[in-house]
Structure 1
Amino acid sequence: MLENIDKLPSGNLLDFGCGAGVLGAAVKRRYPHNDVIMLDVDAFATASSRLTLAANGLQAQVLTGDGIDAAPMGLNTILSNPPFHVGVHTDYMATENLLRKARQHLKSGGELRLVANNFLRYQPLIEEHVGQCEVRAQGSGFKIYSAKRS
């Protein structure tokens, strides 16, 4: 995903399922004028994100919340390498909920950019709920999807 953060819209950007904050920090460094919001359900992950930001001399808003419902509205971009493990179990609910509700959180023309395993059939969900979806890159068993809210 880090190789594919070019040409992001300016404005408010959400790193959904931010984990340790590597993606959000890289975006903030590359686009310092964007307002970056990092969101994860796991308090340890958001604590790690804060440490990643501090170690790199960066500032962003870090939120601990349960899925996309905890995100602000009016976003220009949602980036995600979405989680699909809860402990040792596989769970796609958070990602599927993100795809169903991303449109509500994106401004008109806002972009969803997502990396996922090739075997996950997210493209039809993205097209149904956000807009026309393209594969920006693929390799090593992953695809990077991009869709703009129509």
Structure 2
Amino acid sequence: MDQEGTGRPARRTGAQAAARHMRELDRDEALRLLATVSLGRIVFTQQALPAVRPVNHLVDGEDVIIRIHEGGALAALAAPVDAPGVVVAYEADAIDPVTYLGWSVVVTGYACPVTDAAEADRYASLLRPWVGQPMTAALRIRPDLVTGFRLEADRAVRFASH
């Protein structure tokens, strides 16, 4: 149902919003869900300020792998020699725009370039660029913190609607 013929979804009432609840995800479920989508957003620091870029990804074990291109903002991520990488956050979700049901996952950890040539080639074959620039390298995010939640319909509402 749209809002007064505008084509936009009708506003939700308090009763409709109360028909859902948020459930925290454990690490395993969050990573499993993250692996079911291919698009997310990486949050990093650029010129001492937070920056966000949409990127495609894959999950390899617990690591999140993204491809980067030369000259791009992400290619400039460089860790000090004695550091495990650069701290980044990675977020992806699948939330229905009509029902507002779905999930969201945030991975926070260290990003570093994939330096093994065989691994980089394998990731290059699995991650297709979605922009016109050739992807020249891969970045591995090793998660320290994995959080997420699922927005679910309350049981009484689900059963009442059937």
- Fold equivalence (TM over 0.5): no
TM-score bucket of the superposed structures, by smaller chain: under 0.3
Q: Name the structure with the higher strand share.
A: 2
Rg bigger for which structure?
A: 2
What TM-score do the two structures reach when normalised by structure 2?
Answer: 0.24
Q: Counting helix residues as a fraction of each chain, which structure ranks higher?
A: 1
Higher relative contact order (CA 8 A, sep 6+): 2
